[in-house]
Amino acid sequence: MSDVVNSERIPNNVDLSSDKKLQRALEAWQPKFLDWWKEMGPEGFQEDQIYLRTAVSVDSDGWAQYDFVKMPDYRWGIFMADAIPDRTIGFGDFMGQPAWQQIPGEFRNVLRRLIVTQGDTEPASVEQQRLLGQTCPSMYDLRNLFQVNVEEGRHLWAMVYLLQNHFGRDGREEAEGLLERRSGNPDKPRILGAFNEPCAHWLSFFCFTYFTDRDGKFQLLALSESGFDPLARTTKFMLTEEAHHMFVGESGLTRIIERTLALMKQNKEEDARAEGGIDLPTLQKYVSFWYSVSLDLFGGEISSNAANFFASSLKGRAKEDKYEDHKVLEGTYRMDVPVVSGGTFTGFKSEDVPLRTAMNEVLRDEYVADSQRGVDKWNRAIEKAGFSFRIELPSRRFHRATGIHAGLHFDPKGQPLSADEWEKKKYDWIPSPEDEAYVKSLMQKPICDPKQMANWIAPPPRGIKGMPVDYEYVRHQVR
């Protein structure tokens, strides 16, 4: 097992002190990261003591420590999963060769792009969520928000370590760029669409952590198969933290639905809005929105980039082990591709796409199935409460901005629509400005009393790390 050094300025298990040049480069980046954190991290709570977990090793039964800490004092460290001795590459053209400890020159640019794109999502989500503390439904939820935020900060560190260690000057420039782009800023936006969308309230936050962090899970699973061993080991450990982010999303949405069902029962018209809750049709619109923008993150259905990533053994499939053929030189993926003639959609044509070229779609399939699991659970709860409403994931053609459906319009069932029909009907399916205003109206101020919970969400069944739900997870100084 690799030794962990926690006494240094940058906690790590990568033997940072043996490479003075790299250590200096990272120590020079550290204050810039902190400046970014103070400017773009959670607003209004930087002086508070928060009950947070901190990664201190990669040991499966004791990798994290829980304690009160001010966020700017959080110990963002660099950790890699333990090396697998004599690991060989598990897929692609280089299958069976020893995993690379250094980057093969010919793949340098592609790999840098992969790492930068992943790295960019980490600070982006912190920026998207920076004002949410001011409208938190409870101290329990506030702490979970900050837990997600500090860990996204650590994920940024993980990617910056790879950039600085393996890409020399380019890597240092990319590391600076990661702190310079800003979510939603038209002049210097974050790289991927969903990470520029506003996340203005807690319903969006829970949808984001359910759907968008889940894209993160599948990207990390695919990268953790990489033939470039440092990337594989880094992303493997990031998955440990990512699981909590999706827990926050899933449990948050489960608790909203639980509360909504209770409010529907107590209202004569079964109207949750009349009781100050989030009605199921509104919740459905946020599900459809965040699911569709997250589907875009997987990239085009037919993608030569995806084929190259796979061929060059840089990015595999999630859990490559479960497949039989790891070279994928044969095989096709059948998909219905929209046919557009003279700017208008004329129908679908079935195409057999070479499987390597369809790797984004293969990964998206896994994501869709994983997303459906929570939806099924919510529908069981709704059914059990005696209501007929069902939450549905829309067709993957719906509301897409990348790939073969981009620029076309489909309803949630995947039926084509003209641009006019879409304009007329879109707010039946995605949140309207009025929906956004309504949801925000429920979340006007933070609930800072640990004994209280906002009206629109049920309390969680249990607290954190054996503590009670009403524990003071954030020692908030009212200033």
Q: Which is nearer to Fe ion, 242 or 296 (CB)?
A: 242
- 296 lines the binding site for Fe ion (CB under 5 A): no
Q: Which is nearer to Fe ion, 81 or 278 (CB)?
A: 81
Q: Which is nearer to Fe ion, 108 or 244 (CB)?
A: 244
**What is the length of the chain?**
479
Q: Which is nearer to Fe ion, 242 or 436 (CB)?
A: 242
Distance in Å, CB of 190 to Fe ion, minimum:
13
User: How distant, in Å, are the alpha carbons of 7, 179, 346, 418 from that of 343?
Assistant: 62, 40, 9, 11
As a whole number of Å, the CA-based R_g of the chain is 23
Report the 3 state secondary structure along 173-217: HHHHHHHHCCCCCCCCCCCCHHHHCCCCCHHHHHHHHHHHHHHHH
Distance of CA 26 to the CA centre of its chain: 25
- Per CB under 5 A, the segment of 49-57, 107-115, 153-161, 323-331 that binds Fe ion is 153-161
**Among the listed residues 112, 130, 155, 356, the single contact to Fe ion using CB under 5 A:** 155
- 213 lines the binding site for Fe ion (CB under 5 A): yes
User: How distant, in Å, are the alpha carbons of 99, 114, 164, 204, 434 from that of 427?
Assistant: 50, 35, 45, 16, 10
On whether the CB atoms of residues 209 and 248 are closer than 8 A, the answer is yes
DSSP structural state of residue 474: E
Tokens matching residue 33: 């990261």
Q: List binders of Fe ion among 239-278 (CB under 5 A).
A: 242, 245
On whether the CB atoms of residues 228 and 314 are closer than 8 A, the answer is yes
- Per CB under 5 A, the segment of 55-63, 147-155, 400-408, 415-423 that binds Fe ion is 147-155
- Ordered DSSP codes for 284-332: HHHHHHHHHHHHHTT--SS-HHHHHHHHTTSS--TTGGG-S-SS--S-E
User: How distant, in Å, are the alpha carbons of 38, 149, 151, 361 from that of 78?
Assistant: 20, 16, 11, 32
- 120 lines the binding site for Fe ion (CB under 5 A): no
Distance in Å, CB of 168 to Fe ion, minimum:
25
Q: List binders of Fe ion among 405-424 (CB under 5 A).
A: none
- 217 lines the binding site for Fe ion (CB under 5 A): no
- Per CB under 5 A, the segment of 80-88, 115-123, 226-234, 463-471 that binds Fe ion is 115-123
Distance in Å, CB of 216 to Fe ion, minimum:
5
Distance in Å, CB of 296 to Fe ion, minimum:
17
Task: Please give the helix or strand (H or E) that residue 222 lies within, else none.
Answer: helix 213-223
Q: Which is nearer to Fe ion, 78 or 442 (CB)?
A: 78
Distance in Å, CB of 118 to Fe ion, minimum:
8
- Per CB under 5 A, the segment of 41-49, 120-128, 185-193, 402-410 that binds Fe ion is 120-128
Residues interacting with Fe ion, by CB under 5 A?
A: 122, 152, 155, 213, 216, 242, 245
